[in-house]
Amino acid sequence: MTSARKQRLIDLDHRRLWHPFTQMQGWSAEDPLIVSGGEGNELIDIDGRRYLDGVSSLWCNVHGHRHPKIDQAVRDQLGRIAHSTLLGLAQDTSIEFADALVRRLPDGLSRIFYSDNGSTAAEVAIKMAYSYHRLRGRKNRNKYITFEGAYHGDTLGSVSVGAIELFHEQFRPLLFPTHQLPYPFVRRAPWTKADEPDPKALMAEVERRVAEIAPDAVAIVIEPLIQGAAGMKTAPAGFLKLLRDLADEHGLLLIADEVATGFGRTGTMFACEQEGVTPDLLAMAKGISGGYLPIAATAATEEVYDAFLGAYEEFKTFFHGHTYTGNALACAAGLASLEVFDEEGTLDALSGKIERFTQGLAAVAELPHVAGIRQAGVMIGIELVADTATGEGYAPRRRVGHQVCMKARERDVIIRPLSDVIILNPPLSITPSQIDHLLETVHWSIEQITQGRDQDQGDDAP
């Protein structure tokens, strides 16, 4: 039975909210799951029912919900101050947090510029890179090198360097032009044509194109190891290193967007470590506060930072900043989260969990409508198609990915797809038995929707 409070909240949600990336027409036709609590790796709905948080609240929760140490750190900070500005003032917790971040970042990244979310962290990197070249007298450099399928957030600068047709094309007239290169991902699926370029050939193509377009280019912008929002598309080993080398060769900056990959998601603290790469600028958000509070940062090398130094009247200042830059509560959460990494040996425990996922996913890969599985650490994409022999996808109106995720709720698992790619990206604190439950549920849900009696019920079917 629906309580009066729950019904009131549902009505208010339908009347007052506009949910992100959501077709509100369909949304308002259904009762939303209302979360009112969380504990460990579980979300608790308003009726007290518990669900495994299989996408870590949009890829950001790291050590679980209501972690005692992070909770306490936020409470302690609240006892001092919630927020004061970094414009014209310094603030103790944000200083400590910047130092703790630098100590964990790839060697050579030494300056932290705070902002509020992943889009602004990318936007800051974009603007810094442009100004860096101008300040060094290279005023002709004004184009960014980006990749098909890239996603760097939803503000207009970060949309400009993005390349997901569904999200970005409608805004194209508002965006600055970029050099868009092929991304060296090739589906290894039954329908892959023999003459389809292999990743090595695509990497060679990237190398050739960068040489051509480098003279007016500012920076190469990349999601290291894996493109998240494109549907978890992995890059071949050595691609990031190749981009570092190309950037060096042609005098470009390398911007690594680690908003999704940072803070352990790919098995190391930062994905760049896996190829021994230090980018010139590194954007982080999501897991930076353990998934507690909105904060982001863009890390820069001293070389980039130095370009902005000068007498006041030279106006070399980086003219960018947000009201809540370096928010003390969020920095306290972030600082505590980094300490939890050390105290709980989070990264050491992770390799066994990643392996458990890899092994468990083998059974999912056998399902008839699974076209391919991609994995980098705990970032996992399971691509569903109508016909694996031809590669034909499902009609969008069927919303098969969405249906699979709704099915999983029947077994107390929350996941969210990207079109018909089922995404798994749990908190790093997920336990072995929770991994098994997540995989069994996903297997069952895919089976039910793609083979079972729910097969022909499109979302808009009666």
- Residues making contact with ligand PLP (CB under 6 A): 117-119, 122, 151-153, 223, 228-229, 257, 259-260, 285
Q: Which is nearer to ligand PLP, 253 or 364 (CB)?
A: 253
Q: Which is nearer to ligand PLP, 425 or 445 (CB)?
A: 425
Tracing tokens 């009666």 back to the chain, one arrives at 462
The two tokens of residue 408 are 């999983």
As measured in angstroms, the least distance from the Cβ of 156 to ligand PLP is 13
As measured in angstroms, the least distance from the Cβ of 260 to ligand PLP is 4
Q: Which is nearer to ligand PLP, 307 or 379 (CB)?
A: 379
Nearest residue (beta carbon) to ligand PLP:
118
CB-CB contact of 139 with 133 (8 Å): yes
Our CA angle for 124, 126, 128, nearest 5°, is 65
Closest listed residue to residue 338, CA positions, set 32, 3, 62: 62
Alpha-carbon distances, residue 395 vs 31, 265, 386, 398 (angstroms): 25, 32, 9, 6
CB-CB contact of 436 with 54 (8 Å): no
As measured in angstroms, the least distance from the Cβ of 88 to ligand PLP is 26
As measured in angstroms, the least distance from the Cβ of 151 to ligand PLP is 6
Complete DSSP assignment for 322-377: -TTTT-HHHHHHHHHHHHHHHHTTHHHHHHHHHHHHHHHHHHHHTSTTEEEEEEET
Closest listed residue to residue 171, CA positions, set 161, 180, 179: 161
Complete DSSP assignment for 395-446: -GGG-HHHHHHHHHHTTTEE---BTTEEEE---TT--HHHHHHHHHHHHHHH
Is residue 74 within a helix (H) or strand (E), and if so which, with residue range?
Answer: helix 68-78
Q: Which is nearer to ligand PLP, 288 or 328 (CB)?
A: 288
State the alpha helices, DSSP H only, in 214-238. Answer: none
As measured in angstroms, the least distance from the Cβ of 428 to ligand PLP is 17
Q: Which is nearer to ligand PLP, 149 or 369 (CB)?
A: 149
CB-CB contact of 77 with 93 (8 Å): yes
Contacts of 317 (CB under 8 A, 6+ apart): 308
